[in-house]
Each structure stands twice: as C-alpha cells, then as structure tokens.
Amino acid sequence: MNLMEASVTKGRILRAKHFFARRNMAYLAAASALFMGASSAHAAGTLAGTDIVNIAQASYDGPSGTVTVDSNPVTITVDELLDVTVVSGDPGDVATTPGVSAQVTTYQVTNTGNGSEAFTLAADTAKTGDDFDTTFEQIVLDTNNNGVYDVGVDTVYAAGTNDPVLAADESVTVFILSTIPATANDAERAEVELSATAVTGSGTPGTTFAGQGDGGGDAVVGSTGADGADSGFFVVQVADVALVKSATIVDPFGGTEAVPGATITYQIVATTSGSGSLVNLTIADDVPGDTTYVNESITLESAALTDSNADADEGSFDGTQIAVALGTIASGQTRTITFQVTID
C-alpha cells in the first residue's frame, strides 16, 4: 500500500468512527431520557406491550458519497410484571365500642406492576395474636374517590364480579366493614387484614404466564409475588361516669336542721373512667318537691353559671330541673357541680 492509499484508508476509518460515535451517543441519550421518564411515571418501568425496536447500521464511502446499510429490525415486546401493594390508610388504631356494626378500616391498593391488571380482594378478620375477632360484613370500593366511606354511594365489592382493574401505578381506596362483638373489653385490639391478588396469577417471583400479559406478551410475577396484604386495627375505647351526690344544710338559725326556710346546697361530683371519652356529657338534677330553686345558684368547679339555656355557659334551669352541659370529657376527669334550694 503506497502513502496515498494509506492516507485515504485512514480517512475512511476516521469518518466511520466519527459516524458511529455520534449515532451511539444519540441512542444513549434517547435511551437515558426514556428510562428517566419511565422511572418517574411507572413503578415497574416501561409499560407492558411496549415494542423495543433495534436496527443495526453499517456505512462506507461509495463513489458518490457515504452509503448506509440497515439490518433487519429486531422487535421485543415488554412483558407485564405482576406486582401489587396494600397499605393501611388509617393513621392509627380506629377507636370503637362493643356491640356496634359498620365499623370501618381503610386501605389503599396500588398496582405497582407495569400493565393494566385486575385484582381479587379478600378480608381476614380472624387474625391470631390480637385480643378479639370482629365479624366481617363486607368490602366496599371507594367509588367517588374521596377517601371516606359513604353509605349508599360507594360500591359493595363482590369477588369475580367487580374486581378493581388498575392501570400501572393506579390506586384504589378500599374499606372493610366489621361488627365489634359485645364481649370486647376496654383497650382490647382487633386486627383486620385486606389482601389483593392479581387475577392473571401470583406466586414465586419469576413465575411466567405465557401470552397472558397486558399488550400480548407474557405475564411475569414480580417481587411482591403479585399478592399484597396489610392490616388495620380497632381498639375498644369504653368510658363511663360515676356520680356522687351529697347535701349540706344551713337553717335560718345558723344551724344545720332541715326546717322550713333552710337552704340545701346539693353537690354532684362526676368522675369519668375507662380509655375513651364521653361525648356530650350532661349532668341534670330535678328540683325536689317541697323546695324552691335558688335562682342563679348553679356552679361548675366553683364558677357561677347562669340559669338561661340561651347563653354561652354550661348551666341552665327550665323551671323544674337544673342541667350542666359538660361537652366531651375524656376518661379520668372529675367535674363538680353545685346548686341550691330552700325548704318550703
């Protein structure tokens, strides 16, 4: 090979290297953008059914310039990964009381696979290791997507009939309704589990269901086994109130005899107990016969209350009965009320 031929050959090689370097950089940039976009949009990567197409290319210098030659295209269809997660939607234990029905625990089911998939739901209210078992009523789908169980609005779930179909990364809120047994005791807890299983199939990660994937490829069980579960908990919160009433007498002569004209001061001590709260607790007492109520004599924790039920304080007198509205009182609290009457 003479010097001129070597120079021409070297130039061709450099041009070819430059061409392939530019093409490979473009492919890498495109692949990187596709990967980043897929990562942010899809939990399991590229959507099932997507065709990955690759064509090789050669080039050389011809008499009239650069000539390129393409290979046959190779097309690979992305298979569907079957994955699902279930997460309790309650911020903590759901407070309840014995003997009540339609008690709700909340869950979020998310399709973490890369294709559209239907999921079968199941509830387990007989988990071991808790204090008592609830009675299962029904599973309900959050039809209006507000995250709150709405009676008569949200849809009752029936396995095999309205299994939720979720796109990749899509979630649905699910409620389990339970009845709390009357025998449940204060502070006891009950576990309620929701599970979701891919209808196409589940099992050991890597298990393949040929031709059953979304988009026409295979369906492959992902890292979750295509079967997710999580639990919510009820806690029984019972509250009670005990009343202790006493009376002191001051007669017109400075003594303590129950004679006409004597003033009786009644004291009522209300003490709450248990682990819950009493809602809208009101203490009431009838004015006894043969006595007359002393106007504006009601006190709460030694503070005077008015007799009118139209004002902002807690006290009222309706002509026959005094009442003190205490509102919601947590357990372990004490409230002391007094009022006065005179003996007729």
DSSP string, 134-160: PEEEEEEE-TT-SSS--TTTSEEP-TT
Give 26 or 191, the one with higher predicted confidence: 191
Q: What CA–CA distance (Å, rounded) separates 186 from 240?
A: 11
How far is the CA of 293 from the CAs of 70, 190, 317, in angstroms? 106, 50, 9
| Token output for 324 | 């003190």
146-164, pLDDT tens digit by residue? 999 999 999 999 999 999 9
Q: What CA–CA distance (Å, rounded) separates 3 from 102?
A: 93
Residues 147 and 89 sit within 8 Å (Cβ to Cβ): yes
- Binning pLDDT at 50, 70 and 90, where does residue 10 land? very low
183-241, pLDDT tens digit by residue? 999 999 999 999 999 999 999 999 999 999 999 999 999 999 999 999 999 999 999 99
Give domain limits for the chain: 3-79, 81-236, 239-343
60-115, pLDDT tens digit by residue? 999 999 999 999 999 888 999 999 999 999 999 999 999 999 999 999 999 999 99
Residues making up the chain, counted from first to last: 344
Q: What CA–CA distance (Å, rounded) separates 340 from 287?
A: 9
Residue carrying structure tokens 């009540």: 100
pLDDT in the model for residue 23? 37
Pick the CATH number of 239-343 from 3.30.1330.10, 2.60.40.740, 1.10.3720.10, 1.10.10.10: 2.60.40.740
Q: What is the CATH number that goes with domain 81-236?
A: 2.60.40.10
130-144, pLDDT tens digit by residue? 999 999 999 999 999
Q: What CA–CA distance (Å, rounded) separates 96 from 328?
A: 16
| Token output for 126 | 């007989």
Q: What CA–CA distance (Å, rounded) separates 324 from 319?
A: 14
Q: DSSP state, 163?
A: P
Examine domains 81-236 and 239-343 and report if their fold is the same: yes
**Looking at the predicted structure, is the pLDDT value of residue 25 above 60?**
no
Give 315 or 30, the one with higher predicted confidence: 315
Q: What CA–CA distance (Å, rounded) separates 219 from 78?
A: 10
- Binning pLDDT at 50, 70 and 90, where does residue 276 land? confident
Give 37 or 123, the one with higher predicted confidence: 123
Residues 154 and 141 sit within 8 Å (Cβ to Cβ): yes
pLDDT in the model for residue 5? 41
Q: Which string of DSSP letters, residue by residue, matches 260-302?
A: TT-EEEEEEEEEEEESSEEEEEEEEEEPPTTEEE-TT--EETT
Which residues are within 8 A (CB) of 27 and not within 5 positions of it... i.e. 6 or more apart?
none
State what percent of residues in the chain have pLDDT above 90: 82
Residues 70 and 82 sit within 8 Å (Cβ to Cβ): no
Q: What is the dihedral of CA 76, 77, 82, 86, to 10 degrees?
A: 110
pLDDT in the model for residue 267? 97
241-252, pLDDT tens digit by residue? 999 999 999 999
Phi and psi at residue 315, to the nearest 5°:
-90, 155
How far is the CA of 297 from the CAs of 257, 271, 282, 304, 323, in angstroms? 21, 22, 17, 7, 12
Q: Determine if residue 15 is left, alpha or beta; phi over 0 gives left, psi from -120 to 50 gives alpha, anything else beta.
A: alpha
**Looking at the predicted structure, is the pLDDT value of residue 282 above 90?**
yes
28-57, pLDDT tens digit by residue? 333 333 333 333 334 678 998 899 999 999
pLDDT in the model for residue 310? 83
Q: What CA–CA distance (Å, rounded) separates 120 from 255?
A: 80
**Looking at the predicted structure, is the pLDDT value of residue 13 above 50?**
no
What do you get for the CA distance between the two ends of the chain, in Å? 139
pTM tops 0.85: no
pLDDT in the model for residue 56? 95
